Structure 1
Amino acid sequence: MKIIPVYALSGFLGSGKTTLLTGMLNYLKQQGKRPAVIMNEIGDVNIDRLLVDHDVPMTEMLNGCICCTIREDLGATLLNMYHQFQPDIIIIESTGIANPLELIEGITNVSLKVDIELKLVTTVVSAPHFLALTHERRKTRRLMEEQIRCADLLLLNKTDQLTDEHNQEVKNQLMQLNPHANIIETLRCDIDMDVLFTSIHREGELRGQNEQYPSIEKASEHTHHHTHNHVMTYTHRFDEAVDRQYFKKLFSEIPSEVYRAKGVIKFIEDHESYLFQYAYREIEFVKINPQQSVEPVAVFIGDHFDKIQVKRAIQELTVNI
């Protein structure tokens, strides 16, 4: 029986994990491989599923974080995917607020029952966001550090948004947090997939040896189940199309504690559906092709923000049309 390799993707909200995932899937399909995906989302809607081709087996784990509230379901999901699809490779994209240490343990536990093997833990780090949190000790910063400590490969993403000096500053901090990980600077997570899939592999006999990965031992001393209790979500479903400019303006009026939003929106200008991504005060739109019958919805994620304020700002957006 073949051993199915498992690749885990970690990284804080908006760092670029889904962009990396789509790149990995395109590469694998070009190589004639049959990948399967497990996507974990903290909210009750998985927007990113629209970016995965329908012929790729995918399981959604919603309304929770792999590392705690639905952790037990991960084992069952992996086992089901193994028996039902027998893919060549399994990729797990965890929610941005997950600590990958428990994810690693969960995959390892399943590997004792069936022929799967954790090959690589990749953490995507948004260079400008990490730098912005350099001198803060908030829970967000601590969570990002734990994601970095557990990685075999670190992708320092969005480096075009910083000077060379600041990028080097971030890189030095990453090396201090995890001296054992490979670090690759990227733009939009554009990486040589041959490197990711063939050159860098986590050695099974090393997994769990704290003398080899002292950062994991340090991470295990924390109380992981409480590292993201400060994170909350609000899901809003739209009954009608909205004005594009008013929608952009919305993000200057919502609470600053909202640091991530994504969803599907339909604009009155062309009545076509767009996938939108908002992170770190920047927003981008991608037209959904081919157009699908998708419910317009937006998911807002942040630190203890005022949901009523967000809802009111959206209502005013609709009134202004």
Structure 2
Amino acid sequence: MPRAAMMRINFIPGVRQRLGWRGMRACPQAPMGLTARIEDRTGIYGLYPSTEQQVGKEGVATFSLFYFPEPEDDIINAYSLAAGFAAYDASYLDRLRDFPIHTEFAQLFHIGEIEVRLAPDDQLTLSLIAPQRDRTIAVEGITARLHGTHQTLVEPGGLDQDLPCHDLAYPFFEILAASLAYAFEQAPTALQCEQTDHVKRGFDTAGEVWQKLDPEHTLDALRLGWTFSANGSHPTFAPIDPREWSRDSNAAARYEQAKWWNPMVPGARHSMDKSTMGIEEKPKLILLTGFLGAGKTTYLSHFIEHQAARNQFVAIIQNEIGEKGLDARLLGQHYAVEEIDEGCVCCTLIDNLTAAIDLICQSYQPDFIVVETTGLANPANLLSELSELEDRLEFSSVTCILDALNANIGLETYDIMRDQIAVADTILINKVDLAAAPQVEALKQTIHHLNPFGRVHLTTDGDISPRTLYGVNFEGPQKIAAPTPCGCSHDGHEHHCATHHHYGISSKIWHPSRQIEKDALEAFLLALPPTVLRVKGLVRLGQENGLWVCQHVPNSVQLTRYRGTDAPAEFLVFIGEDLEEPLARVDDAVSVRLAAPA
């Protein structure tokens, strides 16, 4: 329930902002885990379900709460030395994003528990359970060799950790409780604070650990109760555990100004249904185009990360050519993807695109909608259809991405590449780090000839600030070119054009029947003729563990670990011309172990 409330509120820009959320995402390899930012805190909170059980007639779920500080934040000095070293390690952010699978790392930053109890009489209890301070004593001190000398980092008997857990956990709990009050449309009807003994720990250099009561600090439980029954009975609080807990009779006064008491969220600009509030703010639409393998999905990943950091919600509609939708798997979890497979948005799936946009607007009320078309789509064919949605969308840009290494060759062969450039108002020459400067300059000249009004930017790995491309408020100059039919027929749409066979381009899927050797796969892909425009999919490689993402465009192969938690079947999608010959020999070619060099 906490996770559901957090995700729901973060789809509503005005409410999430007023409550204090400043960004949220699911952990890529442990989707039940969440990381979140809140106002007035520079670090990142982590929430992960730890236990779920039936206690009597109550269902009880417990979530572990973590706080990962910025290394430069003074609070890092209150954590253990081990936590401090982890925070300064180069892998800190990567491990933080997937903290549930790095259990020892995560435990260094644990600050408390959040408990949810649901009783059969329509009562719900939300509790924060955290120590006032969590202390660890280094009995023999801690020394380390720094700059060639032994230095004392913690004096014998000194505190390795003295963490104000309750003070760190409370701001997150307050925003979470206020989110539940908003979702329930009801403030909690009861509050109770309880305390019990807490322990401090000690350890010596041999690794021996002891625990004893900490007379100065307690383990505190802040508990809120809701009743949803018609008779409005006052909620009761069941015992947390068998330990002896004492009640704090002065608790209510301390929380008189807490956010959870007002479920209406005063001053919020949005509700779950903007139209009923008379709010006319429309999602901004970006039509993202570019030839096969240019880097559209990579650019899109950066765009989403940029907007999420600014509390902007992005919805993506992807159109894949081929039977397998891979790109949605690569983008992550913190936004919506409505996939449109087997065909081209610009031709046969116009109606599906409109339906997808309607569904996303109704379900998510996003700040941005990005339509990522196939590499073979002519965006001109979409403009008239999208204009019919102008009452629901604010058209912002046709953005075209080009591969600096291969675009000049493709422009000589495929008219669709020239059409994509001609209709765009924003053009990115991507992968400039892989191309020679004269090659990039020649491409810029070709672009200027095809589209003298388009704004051209150079990028590496699709990484560029949206503000640079579109302006602070996405109000840069717009130029919508006159539509040019994609060439499917004299009128552009007199017959179906699902896969652009009129360009001689098709897509085929290959499923491996034997173990794939990494070196053999790379060699096979790099030797493919330039008529094979793109190969992408998921494979297992020899003795390597897990699935790997394979991405190939002419002269380039990328193999990266698949970060999803599911286990899809292996496949490669081949896109291009004359695919029969490479498909006939791929199984033998990639299953042969290459001889070791002499």
TM-score with structure 1 setting the length = 0.87
Tell me the distance in 1 between the aligned counterparts of 2:370 and 2:410: 29
Post-superposition offset of 1:157: 1.4
Tell me the distance in 2 between the aligned counterparts of 1:45 and 1:105: 29
- Aligned residue in 1 for 2:151: none
Tell me the distance in 2 between the aligned counterparts of 1:44 and 1:258: 17
Tell me the distance in 2 between the aligned counterparts of 1:244 and 1:291: 22
Unpaired runs of at least 5, structure 1:
208-212
- Paired residue for 1:120, among 369, 375, 397? 397
Q: Which has the higher strand share?
A: 2
- Aligned residue in 2 for 1:88: 367
Contact 1:127 1:162 in 2 (8 A): yes
Contact 1:38 1:90 in 2 (8 A): yes
Matches within 5 A, 1:302-321: 302-303=576-577, 305-307=578-580, 309-317=581-589, 320=592
Give the residue type in structure 2 aligned to 1:166.
Answer: Q
Tell me the distance in 2 between the aligned counterparts of 1:221 and 1:290: 36
- Aligned residue in 1 for 2:123: none
Post-superposition offset of 1:156: 1.1
Post-superposition offset of 1:294: 2.1
Tell me the distance in 2 between the aligned counterparts of 1:202 and 1:101: 20
User: What whole-Å deviation, never above 9, does each CA across 1:177-203 have from its counterpart, x for those lacking one?
Assistant: 111111001111121222234355466
Post-superposition offset of 1:160: 2.5
Post-superposition offset of 1:257: 2.1
- Paired residue for 1:8, among 287, 293, 301? 287
Contact 2:378 2:419 in 1 (8 A): yes
For the pair 1:144 / 2:420, whether they are aligned, the reply is: no
Higher relative contact order structure (alpha carbons within 8 Å, sequence separation ≥ 6): 1
Contact 1:79 1:110 in 2 (8 A): no
- Aligned residue in 1 for 2:313: 34
- Aligned residue in 1 for 2:540: 266
- Paired residue for 1:232, among 506, 513, 521? 506
Post-superposition offset of 1:302: 0.2
Contact 1:241 1:271 in 2 (8 A): no
Which secondary structure does the structure 2 equivalent of 1:314 belong to?
helix
Tell me the distance in 2 between the aligned counterparts of 1:86 and 1:78: 10
Distance change >3 Å, CA 250–CA 194, structure 1 → 2: same
Post-superposition offset of 1:265: 0.9
User: What whole-Å deviation, never above 9, does each CA across 1:89-122 have from its counterpart, x for those lacking one?
Assistant: 11110000000111222222222xx421211110
Give the residue type in structure 2 aligned to 1:277.
Answer: Q
- Paired residue for 2:382, among 97, 103, 107? 103
Tell me the distance in 1 between the aligned counterparts of 2:346 and 2:525: 30
Distance change >3 Å, CA 318–CA 154, structure 1 → 2: closer
User: RMSD of the TM alignment (CA)?
Assistant: 2.3
Which secondary structure does the structure 2 equivalent of 1:69 belong to?
coil
Tell me the distance in 2 between the aligned counterparts of 1:239 and 1:87: 42
Which secondary structure does the structure 1 equivalent of 2:388 belong to?
helix
Contact 2:514 2:591 in 1 (8 A): no
For the pair 1:19 / 2:298, whether they are aligned, the reply is: yes
The structure with the largest alpha-carbon Rg is 2
Which secondary structure does the structure 2 equivalent of 1:315 belong to?
helix
Which secondary structure does the structure 1 equivalent of 2:321 belong to?
coil
For the pair 1:158 / 2:431, whether they are aligned, the reply is: yes
Distance change >3 Å, CA 255–CA 119, structure 1 → 2: same
Distance change >3 Å, CA 317–CA 63, structure 1 → 2: same
Unpaired runs of at least 5, structure 2:
1-278, 594-598
For the pair 1:181 / 2:454, whether they are aligned, the reply is: yes
Contact 1:241 1:266 in 2 (8 A): yes
Distance change >3 Å, CA 162–CA 179, structure 1 → 2: same
Distance change >3 Å, CA 121–CA 256, structure 1 → 2: closer
Q: Which has the higher helix share?
A: 1
Give the residue type in structure 1 aligned to 2:406.
Answer: H
Which secondary structure does the structure 2 equivalent of 1:23 belong to?
helix
TM-score with structure 2 setting the length = 0.48
User: What whole-Å deviation, never above 9, does each CA across 1:238-294 have from its counterpart, x for those lacking one?
Assistant: 355411112123225555421210001111222321111100121011112255312
Which secondary structure does the structure 2 equivalent of 1:49 belong to?
helix
For the pair 1:45 / 2:324, whether they are aligned, the reply is: yes
